[in-house]
Amino acid sequence: MAPPSTHWDLAVVGAGPAGAAAALGALRSDPGLRVALLDRADFPRDKACGDAVAPHALDLLAQVGVTGLVHDRTPVGRIRLGRGGLTAERRTARPAWVVPRRILDARLVDAAVAAGAHLLRHRVRELRQHTGAVVLDGEVSAAAVVGADGAHSAVRRSLGLPRGPMALALRGYAPVAPGRRGVQVIEFGTRHQPAYAWSFDRGDGLANVGYGEALGTGRTAPPRARLLERLEALLPGAAEGGRHWVGHHLPLSTARWRPPAGPVLLAGDAAGLVNPLTGEGIYYAVATGIAAGRAAAAALRDGRPGRAGERYARATGRILLPHLRHTALAARLARGRRTVEAALRASAADQRVFDDLVELGLAQGRLTPALAFGLGRALAASARPTGRIREPV
C-alpha cells in the first residue's frame, strides 16, 4: 500500500488486461511517468472468462512492446457456429488462442512492471476528485486515473455513471469432448435470446466451456444449476468432468457509449465494453486500455491532466464508435430465430460472409456489404435445408 504522501502521475485501478494495457500505453508514450497499478488480488489469479484471445489484441500489444505472449500456447484456427442442428464451420482468417486468464493476466502484469509500473495490492472502494489530484480511498493520489476494475467497477460507481445492459455467464474447465478438438464451438440458444454455449479447446486436453445469456430488465439471474442445464442441452457432454466453475457478469456495449470527460478514464469492462454478440471483451480491454494510457500520458505531458478524457474520447471514437453501432444493430437482429439461422446458412455458403461475421464478433468488424447481402439472400430463400453444413474439404 502506498503511503498517503505518495503522489503518482497515473494510477490504474485493476490489473487485468485493460489495466495492464493502460500502464503499458502510458509508459510506452513516456517511460518517465510514475505509474501505480493497483489490484485487490495477488498474481497469478483466476478470472472468469472465455479465455479466447483474438489476434487483433496481440497486434495492439505488440505496438506497446509486448510480444511472445502466447508463444507456448496452441493456436485455434477453426470456429464452429450452430443453432438447432444447423451448423457452419470454417477456418478463420487468422488463428486465435485460448489462454487461461491465470496465465494471460500474470504475463501482462509482468510486462507492465518490466516497463516501469509499480504493482500495489489494494482494493479501491472510493474515488474523490480534488483540484490537481484524484484521491483513492483517501490514501493514494494521482494526477490522472484509469478505472479498469471490471464489471462492478468502484471507479465507475464513484463517477455516478449508470450501469448498462448486462449478461450472465458460467465458465468451467473440462476435458475436450470428442469432435470438439482444435475448434472454438459456439452453439446459440433456441429459447433464451441472446444466449449461447461454448467450448473453446485450450490445446492441452482441456476446454474452456460455459453458457451465457443476456439479463432482461427486472429478470432474476438463473442459478448455477440452471445455467449448467442449459449448457448441457446445447452442447451435450461439454461439462462432463468440469471443474472450477465460476459465474460472472458481462456489461454489454451499446451504440451510445460515451467516455466521461476529466482526469478519470474508464477502460474495458469498467467502461461497459463487452461485445453484445459474442461476449468478447479482451480486445476491447486492450484497445481501450492502451488508448487510455496514451491519452493520460499526453495530457500529463501538456500539464493538463483534466483534458485526458477529451483526448481519450477522440481516440476511442475513431477506434470503436462505428463498430459499436454495428454490433448493437446486429445484436438486435440476432434476437430473431430466422436471422440467426440465415446468418449460419450464409456463413456456410460463403467464406467472406463467415469471415465478416467472425470479425464483427471479435474486434473492429462491421456489417459489411458482403455480410448484409449474404444475410438478405439467405432470409429470402424459400428453401431452408436443415442439418450440418460444412465447407468442402
pLDDT confidence of residue 385? 52
Burial (CB count within 10 angstroms: exposed 0-12, middle 13-18, buried 19+), residue 220:
exposed
Q: Is residue 186 situated within a structural domain?
A: no
**Cβ pair 214, 181 in contact under 8 A:** no
What would the pLDDT profile of 25-47 be if each residue is shown by its tens digit?
A: 999 999 999 999 999 999 999 99
Q: Is residue 159 situated within a structural domain?
A: yes
What is the radius of gyration, based on Cα positions, of the chain?
A: 21
What would the pLDDT profile of 333-381 be if each residue is shown by its tens digit?
A: 888 888 999 999 999 999 999 999 999 998 889 999 999 999 999 998 8
Q: Quick one: 258 and 361 in the same domain?
A: no
pLDDT confidence of residue 1? 41
End-to-end CA distance of the chain: 58
Residue 386: is its pLDDT beyond 60?
no
Among candidate residues 299, 327, 355, the one where a domain is terminated: 327
pLDDT confidence of residue 220? 73
Residue 46 parent element (H or E): none
Owning domain of residue 367: 337-390
pLDDT confidence of residue 28? 98
CA atoms within 13 A on the CB side of 28: 22
pLDDT confidence of residue 336? 83
Task: Report DSSP state, residue 268.
Answer: G
Residue 4: is its pLDDT beyond 90?
no
Smallest CA-to-CA distance from 45 within 91, 97, 98, 109 is with: 109
Q: Is residue 130 situated within a structural domain?
A: yes
* Burial call 44-55: b when 16+ CB within 10 Å, e when fewer: beebbbbbbbbb
Q: Taking the CB of residue 228, how many other CB atoms lie within 10 A of it?
A: 18
Q: Concatenate the DSSP letters of all residues of 271-328 into one string.
A: GT---TTT---HHHHHHHHHHHHHHHHHHHHTT-GGGHHHHHHHHHHHHHHHHHHHHH
SS3 65: coil
Among candidate residues 327, 346, 373, the one where a domain is terminated: 327
What would the pLDDT profile of 271-308 be if each residue is shown by its tens digit?
A: 999 999 999 999 999 999 999 999 999 999 999 999 99
What is the percent of the chain with per-residue pLDDT over 90, rounded to a whole number? Answer: 85
Q: Quick one: 147 and 266 in the same domain?
A: yes
Q: Quick one: 35 and 110 in the same domain?
A: yes
Residue 74: is its pLDDT beyond 90?
yes
State the total domains in the chain: 2
Q: Quick one: 286 and 376 in the same domain?
A: no
Q: Concatenate the DSSP letters of all residues of 210-240 into one string.
A: EEEEEE-TTPPPPPHHHHHHHHHHHSTTTTT
pTM score of the predicted model: 0.94
Q: Is residue 368 situated within a structural domain?
A: yes
Residue 104: is its pLDDT beyond 70?
yes
